[in-house]
Structure 1
Amino acid sequence: MKEKRAELSKQQEEVLKLKKTLQKREKEVAKLKKELSLARLKIREDIEQLRSAEKARREILYEIKATLAKQSIIVEVVDNDTVLRIPETTLTFLSNSYDIPNKPNLQEAIKKIGLALHKAILKPLNDHSSSIKRFKYLDTVFIEGHTDSRPTSRTKGNWGLSTFRAISLWEFWENSLDIKPSFGEMRNAFQQKLFSVSGYASSRRLQLIENTEEQRAMNRRIDIRFTIKRPTIKELKAVVE
């Protein structure tokens, strides 16, 4: 009888031990489920943020294009709805020059492009539930200069020439537009300056064959590239880990 009681007691202890182990595992599973749920929520939030950012960028680009079309000023939306291109019919640079041409009609058109850009990025996202201005979804607005393939004796060659073309447009807008806030005062969501300039020399030509002046002129242009705010590597790792 004593042996049976001892065996029963031992079995009861084993059962109790197993119950405690099971309870511990259930708590661990519940914790993992909660962490997984939070991770899924964060991923959904990041995806929604990206959708809003892409929506804001499209709204900016196509609103600028439509506004300018009403004023007979042609710009193009290219590169999968990420770039506003100012074609050579609207703004072109003289060969080996980075100055905005001193032509009243051309300069007036460039002013109107700047005003349309300013108005479009300051609007809130086209969503009745959102009061966030569109530019807060952007990371950087790059004014990009380009050249034709002919060599130049200017400092830093075509790389310098293309960059100075971008700077010329930037300075023209800063000096001629009466806008608040100015482009130079705008900050993205990370409190970094929103606008920047870059030059591509002849590395991104529209016309690879440059047998005529018209073909070369098409490559002497300005693109305005809108990059959007995305989750950082650190944020993505935090979700995975």
Structure 2
Amino acid sequence: MSLGRSRKFQSDIDEENPYWLSFSDIMSGLLIIFVLASLVLVLELSQRKALVDEKILERTKAEKVRQEVLAEIKEELRRKGIMVEVSDNDTVLRIPDDQLAFESNEYRVPPQENYQVAVLEIGRVLYTAITKENRLDLFDTIFIEGHTDKRPSPRNLGNWGLSTFRAISVWNYWNENLGNELRLDQLKNHQGSPLFSVSGYGETRPVNEIQETEDDYRRNRRIDLRFTVIHPKLDDILSILD
């Protein structure tokens, strides 16, 4: 076939197939599609990472605020002559027995004036610390935890019930004596649920394992305040990653 006839043949193909594309045009189009798809994927992954980072940052902020709150409460009470302890990696405010000492097998707040004054002051300082600067939005639950020594309680409720009643006793004492302007039972967490709860651990979490003297026993008959903060739910993280 001569060159002239070859060109005429190619021209005839082009005229008969107006949608014909060269192989290089097809590859160029596919490359553009691939690049655009890659950009969309990178953007989507970046957005998901940003959402996960936001959840982690929120948890980090909450933990920092919890640490600040416990340190603030401890220092304010120290100024008032009431010594409390911060334990369990800055998550628990412990009221030691020299500030609140329960008699063996008793759960009511003791009648001694110094104990009652200390309990009320702890409630006042606690309310002030957790209600400032939108801190409530970062807390999930504050548990009032009751504890006993290792000796079995002769009461029908046992050590589990005895420890729980100690927590309830402190909770009721606060709400009955702090006044309407400091009602802890009206505080809500970030989900609108009551912020405070009570729990009892019986003898299962002693501050000192060796319990031989009355001082050893008394140290374990105590109240702890455990502060839990908001945290990303696994379902939320999975929904972001899906």
TM-score normalized by the length of structure 1: 0.90
In 2, the alpha carbon distance for the partners of 1:135 and 1:80 equals: 20
* 2:189 counterpart SS class: coil
The one-letter code of the counterpart of 1:22 is: L
Aligned residues: CA RMSD:
2.0
Q: Does the C-alpha gap of structure 1 residues 112 and 15 become closer, same or farther in structure 2, counting only changes over 3 Å? A: same
Summarize the alignment of residues 1-241 of structure 1 with structure 2, pairs less than 5 Å apart.
Answer: 1=6, 5=10, 12-124=21-133, 133-180=134-181, 182-241=183-242
* 1:180 counterpart SS class: helix
Map Cα deviations across residues 151-201 of structure 1 (whole Å, 9 max, x no partner). Answer: 113234111111111110000001010143521111111111110011111
In 1, the alpha carbon distance for the partners of 2:136 and 2:142 equals: 9
The one-letter code of the counterpart of 1:44 is: D
> Size of the alignment, in residue pairs?
232
* 2:181 counterpart SS class: coil
Q: Contact 2:124–2:182 (CA<8 Å) still a contact in 1?
A: no
Q: Does the C-alpha gap of structure 1 residues 4 and 43 become closer, same or farther in structure 2, counting only changes over 3 Å? A: farther
Give every structure 1 segment of 4 or more consecutive aligned residues whose post-TM-superposition deviation is greater than 6 Å.
Answer: none
TM-score normalized by the length of structure 2: 0.90
In 1, the alpha carbon distance for the partners of 2:166 and 2:182 equals: 23
Q: Does the C-alpha gap of structure 1 residues 181 and 25 become closer, same or farther in structure 2, counting only changes over 3 Å? A: farther
The one-letter code of the counterpart of 1:146 is: H
1:28, CA displacement in angstroms?
1.7
1:17, CA displacement in angstroms?
2.7
Q: Which runs of 5+ in 2 are unaligned?
A: 1-5
Map Cα deviations across residues 90-114 of structure 1 (whole Å, 9 max, x no partner). Answer: 1121101111101112101110000
Q: Which runs of 5+ in 1 are unaligned?
A: 125-132
Give identity over the alignment, percent.
41
* 2:210 counterpart SS class: coil
